[in-house]
Structure 1
Amino acid sequence: MERGNTEGPDTGSQLANGPTLAATKARSAELFGVLRSPQTGDAARATARDELVHLHLPLVEHCARRFRNRGEPPEDLVQVGTIGLIKSIDRFDEERGVEFSTYATPTIIGEIKRYFRDKGWAIRVPRRLQELRLQITSSTAELTQSLGRSPTPSELAERVGCSVEEIIEGLESGNAYATLSLDAGDSSEDGAASMLEALGSDDESFENIEIRESLKPLLDQLDPREKKILLLRFFKNMTQSQIAAEIGVSQMHVSRLLTRTLEHLRTSLADHG
């Protein structure tokens, strides 16, 4: 497969087990000649089109890998990208002097992104930005073929009829196709903690601060024996029988003292509240 100047990685490496890059390029040109020839019959044209799809399928797989780990099976993304490949084959004009892979890549990627848009966005994006992204994808394919290179944001803005800032906003909206889970951590063994672990949480004890602060002066007003009973019961978790043995009174008497003391505290809290 021919290599365009916008693809990044050498797409020829994808054909390591198949034809050489030169052979693929030559075969592609031959098939496009058959496809565009007015003397070609319908059956031969369909065969040439199918072979072009098969010949350039590694480019689709290369584009689909850019969207891995977004929750969709790779096979589905390849199928969707193949739709973009077929559209590119049908629209491609070899006389413009642009390599087919350079022309087809934006269309394939645009088709995959449209699939994510139609399936649902991870973050709700305004319809205006969704439609702008479609315009950017279409204009990118057209300008790439006419210019022989990837268009600049200013060239896209002129073609779409908006500002450069809006073009950048439309491109960046693609980040909303997928989000990272708060509990997703680094996959490395010594990776950083997840974002969820770095977030604060409500301390349940905060709810009791006001009550504790209100009780302090009330507790100071109790006599020593009442304070000791409360301490043993609620801070040392002793039973009424254990408390009775500790202070030398009956369990019944401990029960009455606890009831009276707690009722006094409740009434005092209500009065102060």
Structure 2
Amino acid sequence: MLEDKEIKALLIKAQNGDQIAKEYILENNINLVRSVVHRFTNRGYEWDDLFQLGCIGLVKAIERFDTTFSVKFSTYAVPMIIGEIRRFMRDDNPVKVSRPIKELAYKVHRTQERLQGILGREPTIAEIAKDLSLVPQEIVAALEANQSPVSLYASVFHDNGDPILLLDQLKYCDGQDNAYFENLALKEILLRLPEKERVVIQLRFFADKTQAEVAEIIGLSQVQISRIEKYALKLMREFMQTS
């Protein structure tokens, strides 16, 4: 990363039309884009597309940054990058969400980022709800409202070479009008995981435990839990692709 004085001098040149200075700033701050994009993965968008949007946000930050302010360029650039990605997701979502829900989702994301900085780990739904004086169900509803819809014809599993669609996992219960998803495919994939990886996934995503809490339960470090979790998710993706 460039020093503050050096980057401000380059910013002045870039804002005056120096293309080389602009490209140099972009190259030296590209990791900002990568770190922000990782926050938005697994939301139904390609990583490359989000990366391009993040780069647009970085370019806008270069063009609009006021060098007279005593603020680091990275501090200004990160919200610009996030804003560009969120704006695209909001406009691209075919499901229209009410403004109060959108505003709540925005507060939830801001609180999530703030608590992560304070706690040094990803906060749980319960911790976010407590901070906002809301019930966990409201937090989950706000987050789910901003998720991209999934096609009912998306392939979720393969059985003897024949794909099982999301539509195939729907069923209706007696006396109920609402449909819900069966988790048979997911359960089968979980059973194929090694025991340690399976336990970590169950604690993290089904028991709503943080990596630090899982580490304490199992007796490993948080770094080890993070590695086990990444490996387990990688195995699950491979199982779904090769089954």
TM-score (norm 1): 0.39
Larger radius of gyration: 1
Question: Which structure has more strand as a fraction of its residues?
Answer: 2
What is the TM-score with the length of structure 2 in the denominator?
0.43
